[in-house]
Structure 1
Amino acid sequence: MLERYGHGGDLWTAEEAFNLPKEQFLDYSSNMNPLGPPEVVKEILSASWRDIVKYPDPAVRELRRKLAQKYEIDPESILVGNGAAELIDLIIRVVNPSMTGLARPSFSEYEEAVHKTGGRLTNIPLLPEHQFELQWQDVEAALPIVDLFFLGHPNNPTGKLIPRSVLSNLLQSGRKLVLDEAFMDFVPQESEHSLLKLASTSQDLIVIRSMTKFYSIPGIRLGYMVAHPDLIQQLRQQQVQWSVNYLAQQMGVAVLGDEAFEQSTREWLGVEKPWLIEQMRHIGLEVVPSDVNFLLFSFSVSSGISIKQAQQVMGRQGILIRDASLFEGLNERYCRVAIRLREDNERLLQALSRMMNDLTRSGGTGHA
């Protein structure tokens, strides 16, 4: 199984499974910006390598100041971490909810963090008949037993923003709300949808952001959260010392000023996403409309194709796709793919079409 460790993008497991060098895979299983990393990242690596003899700033002051300036918030409301994963775990440990409400399907690390603390979960369904969009009546049904909601905004793997009316009701519910905005940078008119600024003064709202997806630096591990300064102080006291290394801090500061890269990314996605959705539907895939840089789709019932079969066939051709049936709430027909550059997307479409034709002809047991 490619997702042996719970994630896409595991090129080491892919190398073992398909007997191909890591460098030969076209990775659609992780949702990185194909335009990145920005050129400034190369400059940081070239110019700052001698500085790794120094300890990093334990308070991450320069990056927090840059983030505070960008989003017009108090730097004391920001905590930087070793990727969003550290922050997810930290929030659950400090807040320690007795019952956490999760939308399903959603990112598995929310559930893992709750289980580590011995907490309990209740599921809020995201249904295909609603295009996997969160419905207030389903959230409302969980209110009597939930003291914290942990939700993706946009959600992974569905790519959907939470409707504004649902967010408004959640903010008035008296429950703590954690929003994972790891992919918010890819959303058009980001400032109209993000609740990051509100979180900086709210007693009940926490927003997590990732810097690795948009800037395509997952190997660096860098994320941050925004919350009321009082809560940030509690979280900082429980954070592992030196969790954000020197190069990560320098890269974070540098990429935040790269407005040309941000503009290029949004222009690319604005063209490529509708094109890829149209092409995927043309070859018979059922694609969920997405607000971000990845797509959830399913194979038709009549095709008889399962994602596990498809993943094996595609992997042997050097293309990695995400088994979305591993997300609770999705069945064996669901797959998730990133959106990449046109040349790569054309290769993906050709391989998917060939694989579907071969498996359908052989009743789901063929080899492409």
Structure 2
Amino acid sequence: MLERYGHGGDLATAEERFGLPADGFLDYSSNMNPLGPPAAVREILARYMDEISKYPDPVSRKLRAKLAKKHGIDQSAILVGNGAAELIDLAVRALRPSRMAIAAPCFGEYGDAAKKAGVPVYEGLLRSDADFELGEQWVTEALEASGADLYLLGSPNNPTGALVEYRHIQRLLDSGATVVLDEAFLDFLPDDEHRSLAAEASTNGRLFVLRSMTKFYAIPGIRLGYIVGHPEALEAMRRLQVPWSVNSLAQAIGAAVLEDEAFAGETWAWLQSESEFLRAELRKLGFRDYPGAVNYLLVRLPDDAPFTSTELQQEMGRRGALIRDASLFTGLDHRYIRLAIKLRAQNARLIGVLREAIASLGGSGT
């Protein structure tokens, strides 16, 4: 299994499994911005030797100040962490819910964090005939059946790419529950600042917003994310966090990339063009893509496909291309895969490898 450790982008496992060098794969299992990292990252790396012998700022003051300006909030409402995964874990442990609800399929770290904390989980399944969108029916069923006092939801959700409408979040809050909203991929939308609930979370003791900086800026190797919440509500998470959780290199890079507005504009222009191209090419091969405005696609295999998502992943891997077997997400089966969106030359190459793999597995490949 390529997702041996629960995630895509595991090039070391791919190298072991398929016998090809790690840097030789066309990696569509990991959804990073193919334009990045921004130029400022290289500049910071070049001069970092002068800083490596010093301790990092234990509370990430410079980065928090810039994030506060971005969202129009006070920096006391921001906690920076070692990637979104650390912050998900901190949130669950600090909030100590009696029961947690998630909308499946979703990011596996949600359920894992609850299990580590000994918290029972209600998994409300999203429906394929509703394009896996979290709607009024899901909220009604969850409120009636889950018994949850914490909802951990993705918007955009991973792997579906679907957004959660504000009215549904408000309804959950009105019930007296706490909501942690994972906006890790929201900055791929040009109007993310208007859609984000970060400002509201900064003054609401029962709403928290998670953000990741690694996806949009293509810096997953340094691990960087943050959570927004009422300062008093964040205090329990601060106390649980390991000292110096965020290293000085991550802090410096995070502060620098926030100033690169041109990079954001280039990203939005690329994504619109390449999303349309990749969707159109996949449909020609008989795949069904689901609505989503981010840098990855949830895709269903052709109805007449004589192979599973696992078999397709293996065949693609042998040919040097990695895709995500979405059957490993709760609520999906062996008819689903997840694909990143990359640059035109890479997307065209992916389609070519897909066509070859489908033919090899007995499909039409047309």
TM range (shorter): over 0.9
How do 1:160-309 residues align onto structure 2 when only pairs under 5 Å count? 160-309=162-311
Report runs of 4+ in structure 1 exceeding 6 Å deviation.
none
Write out per-residue CA displacement over residues 152-171 of structure 1, whole angstroms, 9 at most, x where no aligned residue.
Answer: 01000001101233223223
Other-structure match for 2:130: 130
Letter in 2 for 1:322: R
> 1:96 and 2:125 equivalent?
no
Q: How many angstroms apart in 2 are the aligned matches of 1:253 and 1:64?
A: 8
8 Å Cα contact 2:78-2:227 kept in structure 1: yes
8 Å Cα contact 1:133-1:163 kept in structure 2: no
Write out per-residue CA displacement over residues 314-357 of structure 1, whole angstroms, 9 at most, x where no aligned residue.
Answer: 10111100010000100101000100000000000111122122
Other-structure match for 1:37: 37
Q: How many angstroms apart in 2 are the aligned matches of 1:190 and 1:32?
A: 17
Letter in 1 for 2:190: P
Q: How many angstroms apart in 1 are the aligned matches of 2:260 and 2:138?
A: 40
Write out per-residue CA displacement over residues 125-154 of structure 1, whole angstroms, 9 at most, x where no aligned residue.
Answer: 111100000122222222241100000010
8 Å Cα contact 2:161-2:298 kept in structure 1: yes
Q: How many angstroms apart in 1 are the aligned matches of 2:315 and 2:49?
A: 41
Write out per-residue CA displacement over residues 293-313 of structure 1, whole angstroms, 9 at most, x where no aligned residue.
Answer: 100001123112211111111
Q: CA RMSD in A?
A: 1.3
8 Å Cα contact 1:102-1:149 kept in structure 2: yes
8 Å Cα contact 1:299-1:333 kept in structure 2: yes
Q: CA deviation at 1:173?
A: 2.3
How do 1:38-117 residues align onto structure 2 when only pairs under 5 Å count? 38-117=38-117
8 Å Cα contact 2:71-2:193 kept in structure 1: no
Q: How many angstroms apart in 2 are the aligned matches of 1:140 and 1:284?
A: 35
Q: CA deviation at 1:361?
A: 4.7
Q: How many angstroms apart in 2 are the aligned matches of 1:284 and 1:63?
A: 46
Other-structure match for 2:321: 319
Unaligned 5+ segments in structure 1 are: none
Q: Secondary structure at the match of 1:207?
A: strand
Q: CA deviation at 1:172?
A: 2.2
8 Å Cα contact 2:203-2:229 kept in structure 1: yes
Letter in 2 for 1:79: L
Q: How many residues align?
A: 363
Q: CA deviation at 1:192?
A: 2.5
8 Å Cα contact 2:6-2:108 kept in structure 1: yes
Letter in 2 for 1:228: H
Q: Secondary structure at the match of 2:180?
A: strand
Q: How many angstroms apart in 1 are the aligned matches of 2:157 and 2:93?
A: 22
Q: Secondary structure at the match of 1:360?
A: coil
Letter in 1 for 2:63: L
Unaligned 5+ segments in structure 2 are: none
Q: How many angstroms apart in 2 are the aligned matches of 1:266 and 1:160?
A: 17
Other-structure match for 1:118: 118
Q: How many angstroms apart in 1 are the aligned matches of 2:359 and 2:166?
A: 41
Q: Secondary structure at the match of 1:119?
A: coil
8 Å Cα contact 2:306-2:363 kept in structure 1: no
Moved more, 134-143 or 41-50: 134-143
Q: Secondary structure at the match of 2:226?
A: strand
TM-score, scaled to structure 1: 0.96
Q: Secondary structure at the match of 2:30?
A: coil
Q: How many angstroms apart in 1 are the aligned matches of 2:140 and 2:298?
A: 26
Q: CA deviation at 1:50?
A: 2.1
Write out per-residue CA displacement over residues 231-270 of structure 1, whole angstroms, 9 at most, x where no aligned residue.
Answer: 1122111110000001000000000000010110011111
Q: How many angstroms apart in 2 are the aligned matches of 1:345 and 1:137?
A: 36
